[in-house]
Amino acid sequence: MGQGASGFYRTIWRWHFYAGMFVVPMVFILSLTGAVYLFKPQVDRWEERAFHNLDTRGEVSPGEQVKAALAVYPGARFHTYRLPQAPGDAVLIHLGLPGNGKAMRDVFVSPQGKVVGALDPDRRIMKIAHDIHGQLLLGHRGSWLVELAASWAIVMIVSGLYLWWPRGRGMAGVVWPRLKLGSRAAWRDMHAVTGFWVSGLALVLLLTGLPWADVWGSAFKAVRGEMGWVKGEQDWTIGGRAPGASASADEHAEHDHAAMMAGNEAMPGMDHPAAMPGHAMHGMQSVSLAQIVATAKGEHLAFPVLVTPPGAPGRFGAKGAANWSVRSDSQNRPLRVTITYDPMTGREMSRKTFADGHPIDRVVGYGVAWHEGQLCGWINQAIGVVTALMLVTLSVTGFVMWRRRKPDDRLGAPPPPRASRLRPLVPVIVLLAALLPMLAISLLALAVFDRLILPRLPRLSQWLGLQPA
C-alpha cells in the first residue's frame, strides 16, 4: 500500500473510529430495545394473559361493556372498543380519564360486562420499549439524538466496509474470523467479519427508521407535499408526534381529548339508539355500537380491530370524525384497512386499504412493517433478532478493541496522517450530508468546534488525538 493510499486509509479509519465512539453506545441500546419490540404482539398477549379464556356464557352487548368501563371511571371518555382476538378474551375499551387531558386507561371487560382489569397504556412493556428505542425517554429531543446516531451509524457502516475490503487477501479474516492467530487478530476479525455480514441488514433498519425521525421525517413530509406525493393521511408519527403537529405540540397527540364531544350523554356508542348530539335528524335513530361491532366482526380484519365512535379522537389525535370508524391497526401495514359507516343508517361510507395509498406511502409501509418485525411473520422476527445480536457483537468487539489499545492519557484515536486526505471524500460527504440533515448539522458544528474552540484547548486536542503524530 503506497503512502498516499496509506494516508487515505488512515483518514477513513479515523472517521470510522470517531463515528463509532458516538454510535456504539446508542447501537447497543437501540439493538436491545429493537429486539424486544420485534415481539410486540406476543408480549402484549402475555401482558394481557389474565384477561383471556374467560367464560362466554351470559354475554352482554358491547354497549353494556362500555357502560361498565365508564362506571368504574366516572367522567372518563370512550375512545375506542377493541374486538377480542379470540373467543373468551376480554374486550379492551380505551378511555380518556378526566383531569389534565392526557391520562388514558385500557380497561378490560369480560363477555358478561364485568371489568376484570385495567392497564395504563403509557406504562405497558412495549410502550416503554418503543419510547426508549425511538426517543430515549426524552421526548422529541431524544428523537434528535437517535436520528443523529442513525446518521453517523451510516457513516460508520460505509467507512467500515472500506476498511474491511479484502485488497487481495483471502477469505479468512474477511468472510469468517481467524480465531487461532491470537486474541488481537481474533477480536479484529470478529469485529470486521460481523460488520460485513450485518451491514446490509443494518442499513435497511436505519433507512426504514428515518421516516419516523424528527428532522428527516419532517423534511421528507415537506418534499412529499411539494412534489404532490401525498394521498390520504400519513400513517406514521414523526419524532413521536402526529404528522401535522409542531415541535411545541403535545407529545401525546394521540391522547388529545379536545376533539371529544362534551359529555357522554346521548353519545352514539351505547346500544340504545339516540339522536346525534347537535343534529336534528327528524326522528332518525343512530346506529348502535352493537351493530357496528357485528359488522366489524363480519369483515374478518387483522387484529387488533378498533371501533371508534363518532366524535372520538381519530388517528394520532385527529379531530373527531362524524362517522363510525372500524380500523385494523395491524403492525403488518399491508393488512391495514379502515372503514367508515354512517352513524344514522350504518351504510358504509368509505373503505381505505393499504393498496389505496400513494406508492411512496406503500414503500414506507413495507419498510416500517419490516423494521417492526411483522412483515413476514416469524422469519422477519428471526432475521431481526440475528441483526440485533450482530449489532451488539459489533458494539462489544469495538469496545474491547478500543480498551485494549487505548493509552492512559489519550482517547486512543488512530494517529492522523501528516497531510489531509479529505479531498477524495468530499463528494461522499456532500452526498451523505444532503441526504441526512442531522449529519450535515453535526458536521457544521464539528467544523466550528475544530476551527474556533480546539485551538484554544491544546490539551483537549491532544487527548482527542487530533494533532499529527
Q: What is the pLDDT of residues 333-374, one digit of tens each?
A: 999 999 999 999 999 999 999 999 999 999 999 999 999 999
Alpha carbons 23 and 1: distance in angstroms, whole number = 29
Per residue in 62-103, pLDDT (tens digit) is 999 999 999 999 999 999 999 999 999 999 999 999 976 679
Judge contact between 211 and 217, C-beta under 8 A: yes
Q: How far apart are CA 81 and CA 95, in angstroms?
A: 9
Taking alpha carbons only, the member of 135, 130, 167, 165 closest to residue 150 is: 135
Question: Domain residues of the chain, as ranges?
Answer: 3-38+140-210+377-464, 54-127+255-372
pLDDT per residue as tens digits for the range 447-469: 899 888 988 998 898 898 876 54
Residue 351: DSSP 8-state: E
The pTM score is 0.86
Count Cβ neighbours within 10 Å for each residue of 242-280 and write b for 16 or more, e otherwise: bbebeeeeebbbbbbbeebbeebebbbbbbebebbeeee
pLDDT at 285: 59
According to the model, what pLDDT value does residue 139 have? 87
Q: What is the mean pLDDT of the chain?
A: 86
Torsion over CA of 95, 99, 102 and 107, rounded to 10 degrees?
-20
The CA distance from 90 to 77, in Å, is 19
**How sure is the predictor about 420, in pLDDT bands with cuts at 50, 70 and 90?**
low
